[in-house]
Amino acid sequence: MSEVARISELLPKFLQTVLVNMNHIDNVILEMISVEITKDSEDIRKRLQFLDYFEWLGFQKKVDLLELILKNNHPDIFKKFPRFFTELNELTQKRNKIAHYSIHFERDSNEKNAKLVLHHRKIKKQERLSETEMHEIMQKVAKCTEDTGKIFTLIGKSKGLNF
């Protein structure tokens, strides 16, 4: 199988992994914020009010708010995941390119060095990803998704909730 064919075959899984999991992370972050802000975290009605309110915030604002919450209210949790916010911010940039740039493939004249090309038509920016880089991004997304769940569980435990 040619490199372009392998990348082309990997593309749907790559897109699903990045886009669906980053959306999941967004939802979990929103839930963490609502649990933290609600005085009685078991009161679902109050948590839903906060969810409705903070849902309009952009993803980066939610991430920034969660980082602030962890640094100030849960420094022990923050210290357990020292690279979480750096990695999440890097993945957010990748996710935005994947979601908003056009996608095509390129290879050299020998059918080698195939790349997935993310191209923004208006600003003339491109990013090229090899098959290996695509797999690395999927692994980072999986780890970030897992860490998000762990952080959520720890916040819940600190509030006496059992997630």
Compute the average pLDDT of residues 88-115: 88
pLDDT on residue 57 = 85
Of these ranges, 53-67, 87-101, 117-131, the one predicted with the greatest mean pLDDT is 87-101
Residue found under tokens 């999991």: 21
Task: Print the SS3 string covering 87-138.
Answer: HHHHHHHHHHHHHHCEEEEECCCCCCCCEEEEEECCCCEEEEECHHHHHHHH
pLDDT on residue 122 = 83
pLDDT on residue 67 = 97
pLDDT on residue 163 = 66
Domain range list for the chain? 3-158
pLDDT on residue 143 = 98
| Summary mean pLDDT of the chain | 89
Give the model confidence (pLDDT) of 24-79 as tens digits.
Answer: 999 999 989 988 887 675 666 777 777 777 778 889 999 999 999 999 999 999 99
pLDDT on residue 50 = 74
pLDDT on residue 111 = 67
Our separate counts of H helices and E strands in the chain read 6, 3
pLDDT on residue 39 = 67
